[in-house]
C-alpha cells in the first residue's frame, strides 16, 4: 500500500482565496483524521470521521473550515476564505478503527502558506 496520500504537498495562496486539501486514506481503514501542526500549537485535531461520517468537528477553528468524506477513499479539507493565520502543515491520518492497536498512519502533510 502507498500509505496515506495527501495533495498538494505545498500550497501558497493569497489571503481570501479558497484552498482545498485532499487525502486518500489507506484502503480498508475506516477512520480518518485531519490534524494541523504549527510551532506554537503543535498538532491539533480538527475533525475525524468514522465510516465516512463526521464524528467530532469541535476542533475546526472557524466556519471558514469545512471537511467532507464522500466515500471511503477520499476526503477534503476546505478553507474559504483563507487567512495568513491558517498557515501550517495539515496532516491527514487514517486507522483501522477508532482505538486501533495499530495506531494512526499519517500522510506526508500539506504545507500551506497564506500570504
Binding site for another protein (CB under 8 A): 4, 31, 33, 35, 42-43, 45, 48, 50, 55-56, 58-59, 91, 93, 98-99, 101-109
CB of 89 to another protein, least distance (A): 9
Q: Compare residues 81 and 105 and give the one whose CB is closer to another protein.
A: 105
Q: Compare residues 33 and 79 and give the one whose CB is closer to another protein.
A: 33
CB of 10 to another protein, least distance (A): 11
C-alpha cell at 75: 476526503
Amino acid at each position: 500500500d502507498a500509505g496515506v496520500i495527501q495533495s498538494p504537498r505545498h500550497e501558497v495562496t493569497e489571503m481570501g482565496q479558497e484552498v482545498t486539501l485532499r487525502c486518500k486514506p489507506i484502503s480498508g481503514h475506516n477512520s480518518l483524521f485531519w490534524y494541523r501542526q504549527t510551532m506554537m500549537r503543535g498538532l491539533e485535531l480538527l475533525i475525524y470521521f468514522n465510516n465516512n461520517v463526521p464524528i467530532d468537528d469541535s476542533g475546526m477553528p472557524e466556519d471558514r473550515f469545512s471537511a467532507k468524506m464522500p466515500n471511503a477513499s477520499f476526503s477534503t479539507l476546505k478553507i474559504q476564505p483563507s487567512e495568513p493565520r491558517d498557515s501550517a502543515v495539515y496532516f491527514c491520518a487514517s486507522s483501522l478503527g477508532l482505538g486501533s492497536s495499530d495506531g494512526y498512519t499519517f500522510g506526508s502533510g500539506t504545507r500551506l502558506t497564506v500570504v
